C-alpha cells in the first residue's frame, strides 16, 4: 500500500512540474524506481504519460501568461517572439527568386547542390538550429 502512495505522490508532483528528476526529489524516490515501475506496470506508464502531458500543459499556460505580461510591459523581445510564432505575416521564411527558362540541359553538380540546400532550408528541421551539410 505504501508503494501506491509514493506512486500517487510522484504523479501529483509530475503534474505540477513535468520533470522526472524534480518529482523524484520531492517525493524521495529514485529515478531508477520510477523507470522500473514504468517498465513493469502498464497502468503506471499510462498514468505517468498523462501526468507529464498535464504538467507540460500547465507550464505552457504559465509561460504564455508570463509572455503576455511582458508584452503588456512593451518588452520588444516578447512582442517579436509572439509575432514571429503566432502571426503568419511575421514568420521567418526563405524566399527564392528565379528566372525560369526552358532547357534540356542537365543540371550541373553545383546547381543540384544549390537546389538540395534550398529544399532543406525550406523544410522544418528536426533539431532547432541544426542544418545539414550538402557537401559531397
The answer to whether residue 133 scores a pLDDT higher than 60 is no
Q: What is the pTM of this model?
A: 0.59
Range 89-100 average pLDDT: 77
Q: pLDDT above 90 covers what percent of the chain?
A: 59
Q: Using a CB cutoff of 8 Å and minimum separation of 24, what contacts does 43-46 make?
A: 44/7
The C-alpha atoms of residue 10 and residue 58 are separated, in whole angstroms, by 16
Amino acid at each position: 500500500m505504501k508503494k501506491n502512495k509514493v506512486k500517487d505522490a510522484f504523479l501529483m508532483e509530475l503534474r505540477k512540474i513535468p520533470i522526472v528528476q524534480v518529482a523524484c526529489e520531492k517525493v524521495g524516490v529514485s529515478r531508477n524506481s520510477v523507470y522500473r515501475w514504468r517498465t513493469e506496470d502498464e497502468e503506471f506508464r499510462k498514468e505517468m504519460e498523462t501526468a507529464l502531458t498535464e504538467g507540460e500543459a500547465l507550464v505552457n499556460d504559465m509561460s504564455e501568461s508570463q509572455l503576455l505580461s511582458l508584452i503588456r510591459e512593451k518588452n520588444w523581445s516578447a512582442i517579436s517572439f509572439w509575432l514571429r510564432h503566432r502571426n503568419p505575416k511575421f514568420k521567418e521564411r526563405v524566399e527564392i527568386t528565379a528566372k525560369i527558362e526552358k532547357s534540356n540541359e542537365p543540371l550541373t553538380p553545383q546547381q543540384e547542390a544549390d537546389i538540395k540546400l534550398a529544399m532543406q532550408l525550406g523544410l522544418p528541421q528536426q533539431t532547432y538550429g541544426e542544418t545539414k551539410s550538402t557537401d559531397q
